[in-house]
Amino acid sequence: MDLYTFCRELPKVELHAHLNGSLSKSTMMELQRYLADSGIRDETNAFTDEFVLGAGDTRTLSDCFQVFSIAHALTCTPEAIEIATCLTLQEFQADGCCYIELRSTPRNTPHMTKEQCVAAILQGIQKSSLQHPMESRLIISINRSSNKDEVEEIADLAIEFHRKQPELVVGIELSGNPTVGEFKMFVPALTRAKLAGLKITLHCGEVCNPKEILEMIEFRPDRIGHAICIHPKYGGTKEIWTALCKSSIPIEVCLTSNVNTKSVPSYDSHHFKLLYDAGLPIAISTDDKGVFATSLSQEYRICADTFNLSKAQIAQLARNACQFVFDTRIRNKIQEHVTEFMNKNNTAI
């Protein structure tokens, strides 16, 4: 089996995917049709081409935060959010994903409240589960640009939805422009969510900020995303690198996202190698498959090609990631699924 087919057929778990960053061109077109049919003014037509930050694009991580407004303009009603959820989940399923934790920031728009936004995503997840076998869960996002009241409001929402649907709403996360806000402002809300049973993942080390990175690691989140500026070679310090190594916190690694936003100069120099060689727990993820024109199987393939990993090593990465999913009840079941695939394809180590 060639590497392309192998990575596609390998059962994979996606643990870091932002809904509005994951919209494909065809999903955006479907949403434009829906808005036109509903008589809702859509100003995105001219801009959807700017949504993709491909290889060689001159835009950087800070510019990347502007492109999400294009997706947000399209997912402005409960119906639109539900359509976006269903189509996006369908694409992950078609790419060989067996479990996904989709994440999204609840938004108020002229057509919906934050609560309706979350309910619509959950509706999309439930509808999708009737159509395909992939297991889907939701992580609620807090944007770093939010004020204190908004942060508390989102934590309340996450706790309430988790209480009502613990089988679907499994976590809360901190994302948004990493140069805005201070981690300590989010600690009370995140602590409340943690005590209510939600798992926590934090965007950590996207930019150099050793003090904040150490605070994040010491907070003991259940996972972190990116983890770029941690080792001294990547602008971190010996102290935070040692803290990360001791912590065993699983890391959601997003190769193409980091390269296309110029957070790392190239795939070859990506910190994946450092994390992998140090034996740290890693989950290969897409981040924003629409914005970065990628897929989960493509991320696995790039990883194999760049770092010269065998099919067995790639499959082992996929297998390990099953132990980092927030729905702890399902970890062994999905891991068995990957093991079966490995046995069938003689890639068991």
Q: How far is the CB of 6 from ligand 5GP (least distance, A)?
A: 27
Residues 203 and 227: their CA atoms lie apart, in Å, by 8
Q: Which residues make Cβ contacts (< 8 Å) with residue 33, sequence separation at least 6?
A: none
Nearer to ligand 5GP, 18 or 199 (CB): 18
Q: Which x/- pattern over 54-73 shows residues binding ligand 5GP (rule: CB under 6 A)?
A: --------------x-----
Please confirm, yes or no, whether 336 is among the known catalytic residues: no
203 contributes a contact to ligand 5GP by CB under 6 A: yes
257 contributes a contact to ligand 5GP by CB under 6 A: yes
Q: Are 59 and 53 in contact (CB under 8 A)?
A: yes
- In single-letter form, the type of residue at position 339 comes to T
16 contributes a contact to ligand 5GP by CB under 6 A: no
Cα R_g (the chain), whole angstroms: 19
Which region among 89-97, 161-169, 172-180, 230-238 touches ligand 5GP (by CB under 6 A)?
Answer: 172-180
Tell which one of 8, 12, 18, 289 touches ligand 5GP (CB under 6 A): 18
Tell which one of 77, 85, 141, 256 touches ligand 5GP (CB under 6 A): 141
Residues 50 and 28: their CA atoms lie apart, in Å, by 12
What kind and span of H or E run contains 136?
strand 135-143
Tell which one of 27, 48, 77, 175 touches ligand 5GP (CB under 6 A): 175
Q: How far is the CB of 209 from ligand 5GP (least distance, A)?
A: 12
Q: How far is the CB of 32 from ligand 5GP (least distance, A)?
A: 18
Q: What is the per-residue DSSP string for 34-82?
A: HHHHTT-----TTTGGGG---TT-S--HHHHHHHHHHHHHHS-SHHHHH
- Pick from 171, 156, 214, 154: nearest CA to 17: 171
In the block, tokens 């904040």 appear at 212
Phi and psi for 305 in degrees, rounded to 5? Answer: -65, -45
Q: How far is the CB of 263 from ligand 5GP (least distance, A)?
A: 8
Q: How many residues bind ligand 5GP (CB under 6 A)?
A: 17
How many alpha carbons fall within 13 Å on the CB side of residue 168?
Answer: 17
Q: How far is the CB of 187 from ligand 5GP (least distance, A)?
A: 17
Tell which one of 24, 44, 85, 104 touches ligand 5GP (CB under 6 A): 104
Which region among 18-26, 311-319, 328-336, 339-347 touches ligand 5GP (by CB under 6 A)?
Answer: 18-26
Nearer to ligand 5GP, 135 or 287 (CB): 287
Q: How far is the CB of 105 from ligand 5GP (least distance, A)?
A: 3
Tell which one of 82, 91, 135, 287 touches ligand 5GP (CB under 6 A): 287
176 contributes a contact to ligand 5GP by CB under 6 A: yes
Residues 115 and 106: their CA atoms lie apart, in Å, by 7
Phi and psi for 292 in degrees, rounded to 5? Answer: -100, 10
Strand order in the sheet with 251-253: 12-18, 97-104, 135-143, 169-175, 199-204, 223-226, 251-253, 282-284
178 contributes a contact to ligand 5GP by CB under 6 A: yes
What kind and span of H or E run contains 253?
strand 251-253
Q: How far is the CB of 112 from ligand 5GP (least distance, A)?
A: 13
20 contributes a contact to ligand 5GP by CB under 6 A: yes
Q: Which residues are catalytic?
A: 206
Given the rule CB under 6 A, which residues bind ligand 5GP?
18-21, 68, 104-105, 141, 143, 175-176, 178, 203, 206, 257, 287-288
